[in-house]
Amino acid sequence: MNFGQQKNALENQTVRNQELQKQNNELGALLEKWREAVAQRDALLSSTQAKLSAMQNDQCEAIRGEITGLEGTLSWADNSQMSTVRRSEINNLITQHQQSLQSCFATRR
């Protein structure tokens, strides 16, 4: 009788072991997919940070950003009934920045 119980326990443990092995394989596959996704994300983040750093160090891009901001302010001015004098000042700043941007690009050639 003891042998029968041990054989039954061994069969139960074998089935349980197979189930756990299957789960382990599935989790291993999921872990590998997760690692690949993290590696891709890290590569993208690194690339984006390098591009951002290059742009931040690029004076021409900084000037272009200023122009974009001033154009946005001018657009807002049209909707907020800003004084004509202030609009004119903003237009002059945009013109000056555009000239600076052209000079910046010219120095790259």
Percent of the chain's residues with pLDDT above 70: 94
C-beta atoms surrounding 109 within 10 Å = 4
pLDDT top residue among 77 and 16: 16
pLDDT tens string 66-93:
999 999 888 887 777 778 888 899 999 9
Higher pLDDT, 51 or 21: 21
Distance, first Cα to last Cα, the chain: 94
The chain-wide mean pLDDT, for the chain, equals 88
Supply the DSSP string of 15-77, one letter for each residue: HHHHHHHHHHHHHHHHHHHHHHHHHHHHHHHHHHHHHHHHHHT-HHHHHHHHHHHHHHHHHHH
Q: Where are the domains of the chain?
A: 1-57, 59-109
Query: What's the confidence (pLDDT) of residue 59?
Result: 82
